Amino acid sequence: MPSPRISYVDPDTVDSAMRAEFERCAREGTPRPESQAVRAHVPATFWSFANTWNDVFRNGVADHSIKELCRIYVSRSVLCEFCGNQRSMKAAKAGLKEDDYSDLINFESSSRYDERQKAALAYAEAITWDLPAGDELWARLHKHFSEPELVEIGYFVAITMGQQRWLRTLNIEHHQVLAGTDGSMAPGFETMDALRQSKQAADYWAKVAPKQSQAAE
């Protein structure tokens, strides 16, 4: 595995509050501890992200499972493997299945998603790919979501897109900080050995460039 471009802060060197958050990351994930070990170089950055993730992603006014689908849509679009190989445990408990992630790039033509989910994913698509956001999109969004929900989903997509575009440059990988836990890891990525094997598979998702990337070039 390549070395991270920015070193990890050792969780044993931080204060008790930050250490507790590291342990939560290892236990529950999203985020996993490696990305927070980079942010921990600047405690304000560490806590800004931790608090935003708790208030806007794990909690908040919009349906958590919809935000989780949008998060992985961004991962599949910008090819952030670190984020794309995590799953929300909260969304899984609410009924989101692994198969629900499979058609995200082609969500409009998929039968896996209902109209509300498709509207949110179209919102994520417009933000991620700088697509026109005209009256048709906004009529669709207002049909399915309240204005507070639209604020939260839009803000969340923007935050996670920026973070994922950054994280994909850092060469960080799972199971390198507080290793030995598998909280929030996608199936087939629970250990370092399993992760290596999954990444070598011919159908590994990050080996297939998203269709929009060609249109965006």
Q: What is the mean pLDDT of residues 15-44?
A: 97
Q: What are residue 185's DSSP bridge partners?
A: 86
* Crossing angle between the packed helical segments 43-52 and 16-28, to the nearest 10 degrees: 40
Residue corresponding to tokens 């802060």: 9
User: How much is the pLDDT for 208?
Assistant: 77
The Cα–Cα gap between 122 and 99 comes to: 19
The Cα–Cα gap between 58 and 68 comes to: 9
The Cα–Cα gap between 156 and 151 comes to: 8
Q: What is the mean pLDDT of residues 147-170?
A: 98
Q: Grade residue 4 by pLDDT with cuts at 50, 70 and 90.
A: very high
Residue 86's φ and ψ, nearest 5 degrees, are -110, 155
Instruction: Write b or e for each residue in 149-167: b if 16 or more Cβ atoms lie within 10 A of its Cβ, otherwise e.
Output: bbebbbebbebbbebbeeb
11-216 fold: AhpD-like (1.20.1290)
